[in-house]
A = this chain, B = another copy of it.
């Protein structure tokens, strides 16, 4: 019999978003020196894609005011692909100037959420991406543009979000010049069946330009959703060390899928991520000390790796 895992990607990338999606959602402001150490240690543990921050006005997100410095530092580390979030053209100009490898422009497929959160319609954001593309090309910059479609499985404000609208906006982002697109369940509404349905269609539209799945573990389905996405061929996922973060509209709820649990799931299934989990757990311990008083998440740190970890391929 062909092992079931033969259906799955052989490699996968975990993009660390704890320094952006995680830190922007909690009260603690981590000093730049500690963020640099986090980036250094994550890289040393094998992580090769990190979203280091967001180019937003410091008065809005003082937690991320040092994004420029962090891009500069991260770019000194070999083979590290450095991402930042940019909400608009002004942020994109900063990302281009900083020579980030990729800038993520978030779009909310929920019109209600988009208006409440960004004071723009989703199509306004698509238009902004076209301007960002023009500015990027005019600058002769190599910074890739990723359009990230959030609230793709529903919204705490609006409720239902049409799948056809998510796919329309994804196509519009590509047409406007996004080099990559991704899908995010920013509120933890997705289930594995929905993920499979939507991601299959998204891959048909975007092909190789489909970049990333972003799942929150708000209702415990984060890793089940990752597994469903792996089954249809997606192999890049956002995650936050210690599952930090969450959603301002869902207080107390957990944030992104935790990096260490996801790295464990991939490793257990024999999907290479390049991550040394023991090193990652050591970093988690360090970050937990820095973030004392914040609610952290994840399971592996408490239970430890199984005795059998790493044997699955040898004994398959």
Contacts and interface: CB of A to CB of B under 8 A. Distances in A.
Contact of A8 (B4, B193, B227): B193
Contacts of A269: 191-194
A60 B315 CA distance: 37
Interface string A143-176: 0000000000111100110100000000000000
Interface stretch (A20-28, A93-101, A217-225): A217-225
Given A224-B265, A258-B220, A156 B307 contact: yes
B197 A303 contact: no
Interface string A215-239: 0011111011011100000000000
Given A223-B224, A306-B154, A299 B189 contact: no
A270 interface: yes
Given A196-B4, A268-B191, A299 B223 contact: no
Interface residues of A, number: 55
A311 B158 CA distance: 13
B191 A299 contact: no
A211 interface: no
Contacts of A223: 220-221, 223-224
Nearest to A153: B308
Contact of A193 (B4, B200, B221, B299): B4
B160 A299 contact: no
Interface stretch (A43-51, A120-128, A247-255): A247-255
B261 A220 contact: yes
B265 A191 contact: yes
A154 to B, nearest CB: 4
A177 interface: no
A106 interface: no
Nearest to A200: B4
B303 A250 contact: yes
A53 interface: no
A223 B265 CA distance: 12
Contact of A299 (B3, B159, B217, B311): B217
A286 interface: no
A90 to B, nearest CB: 33
15 contacts: A1-B200, A3-B197, A4-B193, A5-B193, A160-B307, A160-B315, A191-B269, A220-B261, A220-B300, A221-B268, A223-B223, A223-B224, A224-B226, A224-B265, A252-B302
Interface of A: 1, 3-5, 8, 153-156, 159-160, 162, 187-189, 191-194, 196-197, 200-201, 217-221, 223-224, 226-228, 250, 252-254, 258, 261, 264-265, 268-270, 298-300, 302-303, 306-308, 311-312, 315
